[in-house]
Amino acid sequence: MRVSVIGRSGLATFAIVLAASSCRSDLPTSPVNGDDIAFARQTASYSSSIIALLPGDASNRANGVNDAGEIVGYSQGSTGLRAFVTIGGVVTQLGQTTGNAHAISNGATRYVVGQSGSSPARWTIIGNSPGSSELLDQGGATSGVARGVNDAGAAAGNVGISGAVWDAAGILSLVSTPTGFTKGEGRDIDNAGNSVFVFTRPEAPWEGGFAAAYVRFANGQLVALPPLSGDVVTYANGLGPAGGNLVLVAGSSYSAPSRSRAVRWTVDVSTGAVTNIEARPESSHALALADDGATAGFTEGPTSSLKTSAFRWQGTTLLSLNPPKGAKSGIAWAISPNGRRAVGEAMLQGRRAAAWTFPAP
């Protein structure tokens, strides 16, 4: 079922903020009022910036970014969360209800997926206009969310407690929950239709439940992603190509609720075999993948500090990403397919959407 809910009218817009500096940034700039001061930071290998709020809001977060530097996420104020996308240098509200935008695709036609109200949603962007919006089929469930999208508009997420995928036409397929688990959700989907899922069951002391990560091939086959030696819980977050019939999955492996390590699994789509596992030694989480394997995520400081540090992990090298000037901590939730941009959040008088831009090779 495809339901059109929003056309081109009624869209709130606000400019992306980027303070003047000596650095080169591929993010557009615009003047703002004195209540929305933004900061930029330049290092030898990247620049960083804070993304403006929608008018009247107090916090925001960036969840996705494409090769053109278009960013999606949410802006939050007294009325709740509002989904946004940056188009042509402007932060633009998606839809007229509460919502959240989780991912954006590449291409002349870009697809944004997330949630509108309590329903899974997909927005279509052509040129500099958000164009049409639709609520995705949620079967008999009363709520749902789409978290990943590919360049054709196919999406992965959940409806109610069931994992879900939607094809480019918006047709819903429920993903069977493996034995022993009670809930599933899709996190990402690639252009071949492969996707990653996390399945959970209630179990103390795991906040959010005991979890297991899976890759789901386009033919429907589910392959469990094993934890590191001595660990018991896994999460899968991002999916990317690894050459030939191989895919790379970014996620985390846990030995205890407070001890996780960022992991990349290499999986052979033709055989279902996990052919390689890479892990970081730090307390960390891998959240998203670029096409060349560059991985976005964050490390954690001591439990009592609540400090986090965004990173870009490529090969064996971990590049810690400083938050924009004046901000603290940081999490990189997403990275563009070409690896040129990472986005997420930093703390600047509350949670603020942040972006890091890397020079071309």
Mean pLDDT, residues 209-229 taken together: 98
Q: Tens digit of pLDDT for each residue in 2-27?
A: 222 222 223 333 344 433 232 322 22
CA–CA dist 253, 239 (Å, integer):
16
Higher per-residue pLDDT: 96 or 246: 246
**Alpha-carbon distances, residue 225 vs 79, 188, 275, 356 (angstroms):** 39, 15, 11, 30
Q: Which of 96-100, 121-125, 136-140, 177-181 has the lowest mean pLDDT?
A: 96-100
Q: Tens digit of pLDDT for each residue in 326-355?
A: 999 999 999 999 999 999 999 999 999 999
Mean pLDDT, residues 58-84 taken together: 97
Q: Which of 112-116, 178-182, 255-259, 304-308 has the lowest mean pLDDT?
A: 304-308
pLDDT band for position 178 (50/70/90)?
A: very high
Higher per-residue pLDDT: 38 or 238: 238
Tell me the torsion sign for CA atoms 308, 74, 130, 151: positive
How confident is the model at residue 306, as a pLDDT? 76
How confident is the model at residue 1, as a pLDDT? 28
How confident is the model at residue 10, as a pLDDT? 34
Q: Tens digit of pLDDT for each residue in 275-289?
A: 999 999 999 999 999
How confident is the model at residue 96, as a pLDDT? 86
3-state secondary structure of 52: coil
How confident is the model at residue 336, as a pLDDT? 98
How confident is the model at residue 335, as a pLDDT? 98
CA–CA dist 85, 76 (Å, integer):
14
Q: Which of 37-41, 126-130, 151-155, 206-210 has the lowest mean pLDDT?
A: 37-41
Q: Is the pTM of this model over 0.95?
A: no
How confident is the model at residue 4, as a pLDDT? 22
How confident is the model at residue 44, as a pLDDT? 59
pLDDT band for position 153 (50/70/90)?
A: very high
How confident is the model at residue 41, as a pLDDT? 54
Phi/psi at 29 (nearest 5 deg)?
-120, 155
Q: Which long-range contacts (CB under 8 A, 24 or more apart) does 261-267 make?
A: 261/228, 261/231, 262/286, 262/295, 262/297, 262/299, 262/313, 263/228, 263/234, 264/289, 264/293, 264/295, 265/215, 265/225, 265/226, 265/236, 266/242, 267/215, 267/223, 267/225
How confident is the model at residue 19, as a pLDDT? 31
User: What percent of the chain clears pLDDT 90, i.e. is strictly above it?
Assistant: 81
User: Considering the chain, what is the average pLDDT of its residues?
Assistant: 88
